[in-house]
A = this chain, B = another copy of it.
């Protein structure tokens, strides 16, 4: 059962993801969540607190989805990476757009930056493990390369509506990673 606080966080993420940073106000979160006016303020007094609440909600959801990748081959790693990209830019598109909005707010907010960095380290470790299993000579650097390419592709799918198949570009990065 979702608490009022959960509903507030979910509505804040939706507003960030569909309307951007300018869409996030206490009043609009109340409306979006279908809660009486003032409910959001009761849980998050300032806008900064509300942004941090949304950020923590996103990180918690990402951590839940995080599990070790089992890959059998380079093609398998390309396919699993592509499916993850299609998931976060398809069904999870709004959460991903919200994450990017928070990313940019973090450019001028050190505390927020630390919070949103928490889940990325987990993802890097998962990708690094998969690359090590496949025999990559430098799994740490290779994971950075594959994460960077994935994040560039995700950014363009979200921002520019790019719908091209991510597999060819991912295959090139994985080929270099297994060098």
Query: Which of A1-9, A13-21, A28-36, A57-65 sits within the interface?
Result: A13-21
Q: Give chain B residues whose Cβ lies under 8 Å from the Cβ of A150.
A: 148, 152
- A54 contacts chain B at the CB level, 8 A cutoff: no
Copies in the complex: 2
Q: Give chain B residues whose Cβ lies under 8 Å from the Cβ of A177.
A: 172, 176
| Residues A108 and B148 in contact, CB atoms below 8 Å apart | no
| Residues B158 and A148 in contact, CB atoms below 8 Å apart | no
Chain B residue at smallest Cβ distance from A150: B152
Q: DSSP majority for the A interface?
A: helix
| Residues B108 and A19 in contact, CB atoms below 8 Å apart | yes
Contact residues, A6-59 vs B (CB, 8 A): 18-22
Q: Give chain B residues whose Cβ lies under 8 Å from the Cβ of A132.
A: none
**Range of interface residues on A (Cβ < 8 Å):** 35 or more
**Subset of 17 A-B contacts with CB under 8 Å:** A18-B108, A20-B104, A20-B108, A21-B21, A21-B22, A103-B160, A106-B160, A107-B161, A116-B160, A142-B172, A145-B172, A145-B173, A148-B152, A148-B169, A173-B176, A174-B176, A176-B179
Instruction: Kindly list 13 other residue pairs between chains A and B, CB separation below 8 angstroms, not including A141-B168, A141-B169, A151-B155.
Output: A19-B108, A21-B21, A103-B159, A103-B160, A113-B161, A138-B168, A141-B172, A144-B164, A145-B168, A145-B169, A151-B152, A171-B176, A176-B177
